[in-house]
Amino acid sequence: MRGPAASRTPDVKDALRELILEALADLRAGGLLPDGPAAAFVVERTRNREHGDFASNAALVLAKSAGRKPRDIAEALRARLQSDTRLARIEIAGPGFINFFLADSATHDEMRRIHALGADYGRNASGGGRRVQIEFVSANPTGPLHVGHGRGAAVGDSLSRVLAANGWDVTREFYYNDAGAQIENLALSVQARCKGVEPDQEGWPADGYRGDYIRDVARDYLAGATVQADGRDVTARADADDLEAIRRFAVAWLRREQDLDLRAFGVAFDVYFLESSLYADGKVDDTVRDLVAAGHTYEQDGALWLRTTAFGDDKDRVMRKAQGGYTYFVPDVAYHENKWRRGFERVVNEQGADHHSTVTRVRAGLQALDIGIPNGWPEYVLHQMVTVMRGGEEVKLSKRAGSYVTLRDLIDEVGRDATRYFLVARKTDSQLVFDIDLARAQTNDNPVFYIQYAHARVCSVRRQLAERGLAVDAGAGLNALARLDSEHERVLMAELSRYPEVVESAAANLDPQLVAQYLRELAAAFHAYYNAHQFIVDDVVLRDARIALAEAARQVLRNGLDLLGVGAPESM
């Protein structure tokens, strides 16, 4: 993972914003606007290029403080900006919107930036090297990763890449819930298998896990196998009566299996954090004492309560039950207090939508500690469920897992690239239908194939040039971009210049699907260009210019695919 991005030359949108700020400063100096900071205004891409490349509401938001009509301010801005060579023309629309039409030279400059920056094109330093922790997947070590975990892995890892591309110092963390009733059920299930008890037979745990993997764990335990998890070896005692030994081995065995699945998915973590360590190190008890000391708890009916209603919850929550033991949200508060004390300015939790109810109470618990944690910390990205389809019917079961489709099932069926793209290609708050048949199809209807094929097409042009013994002068091609005046070429260049804005927006909205959506649109623009024009033509200058544009498209496609953890093949 790259470190914080270096400062960069402004892209087209940034440069236009700077132009407007300079013009506003001139208007203030000339007495046409009052002194003081300018009100916040936006510069954004137009939805219809007939209305220009960019539009700004600067005149509208300044009108009230200036005591002038918006169109008058817009006209004054146009008078000061229209001589800039990067602008072809400026139009005033409606009550005072300013529409900017870029000169071809501005777009050509952006193509040169793509070539100059290469893999760093689209990256920026807005994060300033500040520390952010992304927690994702965080599956209980009780079975194989299911497709919901897969969606969390795809979104969380892509989000980590997007934030790193925006200059954040990212730490990826996996939180193992290796304590509680589910782990007890795991140990009992493995023990039953060790003793020859099958599901549905007498003696099988009421809430036992039935998948074939339980048989595999029991087999290795009885064989005295050694497994490695988180850099530590755990050796089975082969004693079917030692439930604690079974628990330790089963957790390690499944942690290893989950890690292998994540490696196959191209996902790695910087930190693995065990829930059990919070108890072993006394952190849960410490957090409870801190909450009591802060004065936000009370005793009632033999239980210890946290007054979470003081911090936005709909009712107070029990922390310690009357019969003893902490409720499940207490270790969550202790864990997040640990994150805060590790110095993370920002924490983002990518989790399933079933965690929605925990958001308010965890934040309330952190606020009740009175240790300076900001309101709204941590941030949450919650993803909706995934439905897997094949042949028009829902796929529900995996023999290995027993009751759900596993992430490994999808990887084996359609490959890592298609699995990652499909799982991140919709907004997280939308339910996702994963169509196995579509993900396997080598047609333009499959967005992964469509995008990767665009990259491979440019690479095929490279090979054709080499086979003909033709050399391309990239510098000459970039200097001849003015030869590219067709609508296909203009549309492709406009799409390419949008990429830095997409990267920034994906980070600002914690929404990597914006990158997936953009890549499909960019691929469409490239395929239309490729189908309409020949690249290897007798006119050497035109050939070099077209190939320079194609290479810019290849670079941006590769950069965007990398943010999603998807490969950029050179042939298909």
* Whole-angstrom distance, CA of residue 490 vs CA of residue 492: 5
Residue 399, exposed/middle/buried by CB under 10 A (0-12, 13-18, 19+)? exposed
List all residues 6 or more positions away from 508 whose beta carbon is below 8 Å from its beta carbon. Answer: none
Q: Do domains 12-102 and 444-563 have the same CATH topology?
A: no
Predicted confidence (pLDDT) per residue in 347-391, tens digit? 999 999 988 888 999 999 999 999 999 999 999 999 999 999 999
Tokens of 228: 């490695």
| Mean model confidence pLDDT for the chain | 93
> Among the residues of 91-235, which ranges form H helices?
104-117, 147-165, 181-194, 212-222
Give me the percent of the chain exceeding a pLDDT of 90: 85
Give the pair of three-digit tokens for residue 168: 């954040």
Give which of 426, 423, 427, 424 is closest to 436, Cα–Cα: 423
Q: pLDDT tens, 142-173?
A: 999 999 999 999 999 999 999 999 999 999 99
Q: Which helix (H) or strand (E) holds 264?
A: helix 243-264
Q: What is the model's pLDDT at position 15?
A: 87
Higher pLDDT, 26 or 417: 417
pLDDT(38) > 70: no
pTM summary value: 0.91
pLDDT higher than 80, residue 267: yes
Give the CATH superfamily of 12-102.
Arginyl tRNA synthetase N-terminal domain (3.30.1360.70)
pLDDT at 296 over 50: yes
Which pLDDT tens digit goes with each residue over 43-57? 999 988 888 999 999
Examine the pLDDT at 260 and tell me if it is beyond 50: yes
Pick the more confident residue, 30 or 337. Answer: 337
pLDDT of residue 402: 66
Taking phi over 0 as left and psi of -120 to 50 as alpha, with beta for the rest, 67 belongs to: left
Homologous superfamily, domain 444-563? Isoleucyl-tRNA Synthetase; Domain 1 (1.10.730.10)
Q: Where are the domains of the chain?
A: 12-102, 181-271, 444-563
The CA-atom distances, in angstroms, between 513 and each of 122, 315, 525 are 16, 35, 19
